[in-house]
Structure 1
Amino acid sequence: MKNITFIVYIFVVVVLCAGCSSAPSQTAVPSEVTMTKEVLADKIKGGWAAKTIGCTYGGPVEFLHNGTMIQDYTPIKWSEDRVKFYFDTFPGLYDDLYVDIIFVNVFERLGLDAPADSFAISFANAGFPLWHANQVAKYNIKQGIMPPMSGHWLNNPHADDIDYQIEADFAGLMTPGMPNTASEISDRVGHIFTYGDGWYGGVYVGALYSMAFVSDDVEVVVSEALKTIPAQSDFYRCMKDVIGWYRQYPDDWKQTWFECQKKWTSEVGCPDGVFAPFDIDAKINSAYVIMGLLYGRKDFFTTIDIAARCGQDSDCNAATAAGILGTITGYANIPEIWKESLYEIEDIPFAYTDVSLNKLSELGLKHALQMIEKEGGKVEESQVTIKTQKPVAVKYEKAFEGHYPVDKMAVNTVLQDKTEWMFDGIGFVLKGYVKCADEDYVAQVEMHIDGNLIETANLPVAKASSIDDRRVDLFHRYQLQNTTHKVGFKWLNPRKDAQVYLGEAVIYSDKQNFNH
């Protein structure tokens, strides 16, 4: 009889555990979630506050450790006055926030259905320092190239960069439990700057924030949000790998870091990262974000510390990981040692904006309440009911397809009235800059390829302040025939106090270069 009982017991256990695995349940998030307005507000404030803290924590080590992790013995300093210190001395650190604020203000001014062009024009005219895909997009918009083409890889060599990933927080914080609505916002806004994996970085971050409102299980948040990304994309595969490595090495984030380094750190787009340890690609930096979240196991310090110590864009990655965790836990549950750094600045507007941290949280709550109603939920006097969404993958797109970096040529010459150089391949990105005593001067330069006029470029002066309309890379061209090409430049409006400097050129082929 005991044997029969034991067999029955084993059968029941097997039936109950059928289909069990380490993967999160497919029904991890209910179809409706109700919470008080107070809890909703606390989560939104937690997201923005934690993002500010994480950005500040990683600031001192941003891009100082490229291609290597930051060792445990290397101190990353923190103090009560740390945020105020950067507010006063380096406000450009908070590009993660002041770009977000531009979009929040557009929603406040024009409503939830504001069109892409309104975001683009407000962004391009904002007058703050920008870099990489953001600055390329600003230049494109000023030259009349509007979204989505302003972020398309044919017009933006930085289309796979991290830019929209670090400024997509607003999309998730105003769409609690509604990741597909966050994706729709990301379609409008994210394509201003990025395309393909660069865009997916922002889509994913928006979905992570959105899911953070309705699940307190980090693994569920990370896995459910990934369903917004097409499975055939490199971005999806990279995040899937990180989740898998986390399950394989649950107590060793450094082993997962090494696995990422081996498989996912080959830069193709950004000319600053090709043939260099610098890597601002969205995939690898998103990998570091979710490494912080997964291995941090909801401990605030551990989460931001791991995200920062993965290296590369340490301030942005710590900021994103912190913001998502702050949304999960709420502002009230951020440890005091971190929150106290905000008290002195929480009512001071971020640089280049009229919006403070407290004001940003207020606007975030206002827009979230509007979005809950718009998407079929209920907003009552003291509580809200969110009609949650099952994440759906956005459209598939891939930048730089069929383009492989094979060489970096040192052109290194000052443009005369006419200058020529030659290369073998299907495309190139040529770096450089324009200098002039008159900072309002704009050089007009024709580019010819194989005798054909390709474009007449307006090239503003690169100002010392980094707040300008410069073209990040002087010239680029993709999708040429794979042969020898002659590239010629003609300076249409030269002047003696101006200089157009042609620097290095990244060369692309339609075949990978394996010299080993």
Structure 2
Amino acid sequence: MKKAILHVLGGFLLLGTVSCSQQPIGQKTTTLPESFTISREKLLDKIKGGWAGQTIGCTYGGPTEFKYNGTMIQEYVPIPWRDGYMRWWYENSPGLYDDVYMDLTFVDVFDRLGLDAPVDSFAMAFASAGYMLWHANQAARYNILQGIMPPASGHWLNNPHADDLDYQIEADYSGLMSPGMPNSASEISDKIGHIMNYGDGWYGGVYVGAMYSLAFISDDIGFIVTEALKTIPEQSRYYQCMQDVIRWHAEFPDDWKRTWFECEKKWSEDIGCPDGVFVPFNIDAVINSAYILIGLLYGDGDFFKTMDIATRCGQDSDCNPASAAGILGTVLGYSRIPEYWMGNLKDVEDMNFAYTDISLTRTYEMSFKQALQMVERNGGTVGDEDVTIACQAPVPVRLEKGFEGLYPVGRIHVNREVADVGKVVLDGTGIVFKGRVRAADEEYVARVEMYMDGELVETANLPAASRTRRHDLFWKYQIPKGKHIFTFKWLNPVAGASVRFNEALVYSDSPLQVVHP
């Protein structure tokens, strides 16, 4: 059955068709087999389907990214798709595919240095790449360039964005190179995911990788999402949210908006990310993973429906449908993704992603090669025609919790240059100072000291260049509760440069209690 869809692009209405039904994706799965045999041809088809689905999903959600924060995108809002659409993004706004070319940074290191490549090689490739970064990724890049290597680069004490979704949107490769082996995907993510994340932020990537891994051996979405969740510690906030989504789907099987609403009520609170506290913006891994899960569960195995629902949940609404469509694309395989979506993909398969010399066509080959190596390394066999996978029953990774005991209680509006900041008085247990360094000379690096109660806390290098900037100027957690005075000293001021403090985010050890008389 075809469903007519009106698309809006550049002020014009476009009439297209979207397949809203397709061949059922298979029978229900209830147990994980000890081994699983798949033809080399089908294994490659599934790997290609994962990368294709991710790229299509990213494109589909692209125009909506962070335009709907804390609200869903209603069905009457058209999302464009037309012939040549992916090529347009490739040529005019290639930064849309940051979650894909970030994956490829790690795929390329494995290709060049092998499965045992050290974490420092991944960290330096990531930190020295030419692309722009944000949030946990940018904080990690800064840390690495300052000599703070993983896992310290992603730890919440060194990275205020540690719970953000950065590794979640970059972890696809780990599952695609670990077919049927979710624990192997977790081991990869332990090494690479801690470059930029910790705790819930890391769990987002572990879970996504496990779902991709299990998508090779099962076509039952309910089984995939439930079994993959066994890689996450039950005590974690992340696990509890995903478990809620699965439960709400069972309670409200025909109403994805009800499950979305229940998520908003219970799980939309952001604590760590300084850009997502006290505002609707939420880049936390927990809520955005919930949106991936809503798309998968309510999508019923339909490629468009899965991608569309994950997009319409809002927030990071290009990366979330990318993950959902990538996981389902792995289930279906490249050959079973509807041609309506594949036409645009085939138009760009041989084009390199921005900041890389890697195309999708080359990605398929590298990822397939790595998957065969991982199968053999983990007890499977690779024949001329078939591959036998020694399947892994998922086990939970270790428990991590960032920002424990911290509660946002207020903001201090500083809005001054560093020389005019004077004294900032904190009454709490933690503080993050937001701001920006600007200079006529982009190579300029401001050196600024932060003092707490007259004692030097840190001397920070603050680059003016956007690519190497410190995402937040200063922060300090685990402060003894009470009043503390923060002051700053600019050690190397130059003409044409400024160090601007915008605001300070204040934490305490208990939630804010507002009592009106």
User: TM-score, normalising length from structure 1?
Assistant: 0.94
Amino acid at match of 2:403: F
State the Cα deviation string for residues 376-434 of structure 1 (Å, max 9, x = none).
Answer: 00000011000000000000000000000000110110111873211111111111000
Pairs within 5 Å for 1:80-479: 80-416=83-419, 419-463=422-466, 468-479=467-478
State the Cα deviation string for residues 290-328 of structure 1 (Å, max 9, x = none).
Answer: 100000011000000000000000000000000000000
Contact kept, 8 Å, 1:238 with 1:283, in 2: the verdict is yes
Which residue of structure 2 lines up, in the alignment, with residue 494 of structure 1? 493
Measured at CA, do residues 397 and 423 of structure 1 come closer, stay the same or move farther in structure 2, by a change above 3 Å?
same
Which residue of structure 2 lines up, in the alignment, with residue 5 of structure 1? none
SS of 1:416's partner is helix
Contact kept, 8 Å, 2:414 with 2:421, in 1: the verdict is no
SS of 1:80's partner is coil
Deviation at 1:462, TM superposition (A): 4.3
Is 1:515 aligned to 2:514, yes or no?
yes
Instruction: Name the CA distance, whole Å, in 1 between partners of 2:420 and 2:275.
Output: 27
Instruction: Name the CA distance, whole Å, in 2 between partners of 1:282 and 1:48.
Output: 21
Instruction: Name the CA distance, whole Å, in 2 between partners of 1:296 and 1:393.
Output: 27
Instruction: Name the CA distance, whole Å, in 1 between partners of 2:257 and 2:130.
Output: 40
Instruction: Name the CA distance, whole Å, in 2 between partners of 1:366 and 1:186.
Output: 19
SS of 1:98's partner is helix
State the Cα deviation string for residues 196-250 of structure 1 (Å, max 9, x = none).
Answer: 0000000000001000000000000000000000000000000000000000000
Which residue of structure 2 lines up, in the alignment, with residue 6 of structure 1? none
Percentage of identical aligned residues: 61
SS of 1:455's partner is strand
Q: How many residues align?
A: 489
Runs (5+) with no aligned partner, structure 2:
1-26
State the Cα deviation string for residues 461-502 of structure 1 (Å, max 9, x = none).
Answer: 144xxxx10000111110001111111110000012100000
Instruction: Name the CA distance, whole Å, in 2 between partners of 1:393 and 1:80.
Output: 44
Instruction: Name the CA distance, whole Å, in 2 between partners of 1:409 and 1:417.
Output: 15
Which residue of structure 1 lines up, in the alignment, with residue 42 of structure 2? 39
SS of 1:413's partner is strand
Contact kept, 8 Å, 1:134 with 1:163, in 2: the verdict is yes
Amino acid at match of 2:278: F
SS of 2:152's partner is coil
SS of 1:419's partner is coil
Instruction: Name the CA distance, whole Å, in 2 between partners of 1:235 and 1:414.
Output: 39
Amino acid at match of 1:113: D
Instruction: Name the CA distance, whole Å, in 1 between partners of 2:155 and 2:29.
Output: 34
Contact kept, 8 Å, 1:418 with 1:490, in 2: the verdict is no
Instruction: Name the CA distance, whole Å, in 1 between partners of 2:302 and 2:514.
Output: 45
SS of 1:306's partner is helix
SS of 1:344's partner is helix
Contact kept, 8 Å, 1:346 with 1:357, in 2: the verdict is yes
Instruction: Name the CA distance, whole Å, in 1 between partners of 2:426 and 2:356.
Output: 45
Greater CA radius of gyration, 1 or 2?
1
Amino acid at match of 1:152: H
Contact kept, 8 Å, 1:442 with 1:460, in 2: the verdict is yes
Contact kept, 8 Å, 2:306 with 2:324, in 1: the verdict is yes
Contact kept, 8 Å, 1:417 with 1:494, in 2: the verdict is no
Amino acid at match of 1:422: V
Measured at CA, do residues 457 and 31 of structure 1 come closer, stay the same or move farther in structure 2, by a change above 3 Å?
same
Contact kept, 8 Å, 2:215 with 2:327, in 1: the verdict is yes
SS of 1:150's partner is helix
Deviation at 1:127, TM superposition (A): 1.2
Instruction: Name the CA distance, whole Å, in 1 between partners of 2:355 and 2:472.
Output: 25
Instruction: Name the CA distance, whole Å, in 1 between partners of 2:220 and 2:294.
Output: 14
Instruction: Name the CA distance, whole Å, in 1 between partners of 2:83 and 2:287.
Output: 31
Deviation at 1:81, TM superposition (A): 1.2
Instruction: Name the CA distance, whole Å, in 1 between partners of 2:215 and 2:29.
Output: 16
Contact kept, 8 Å, 2:450 with 2:459, in 1: the verdict is yes
Amino acid at match of 1:475: F
SS of 1:50's partner is helix
Instruction: Name the CA distance, whole Å, in 1 between partners of 2:333 and 2:475.
Output: 45
User: TM-score, normalising length from structure 2?
Assistant: 0.93
Amino acid at match of 1:408: R
State the Cα deviation string for residues 48-99 of structure 1 (Å, max 9, x = none).
Answer: 0110000000000000000000011011111121111111111111111111
Amino acid at match of 2:484: H
Which residue of structure 1 lines up, in the alignment, with residue 72 of structure 2? 69
Instruction: Name the CA distance, whole Å, in 1 between partners of 2:455 and 2:245.
Output: 46
SS of 2:158's partner is coil
SS of 1:314's partner is coil
**How much is the aligned-residue C-alpha RMSD, in angstroms?**
1.2
Instruction: Name the CA distance, whole Å, in 2 between partners of 1:404 and 1:115.
Output: 36
Deviation at 1:25, TM superposition (A): 9.0
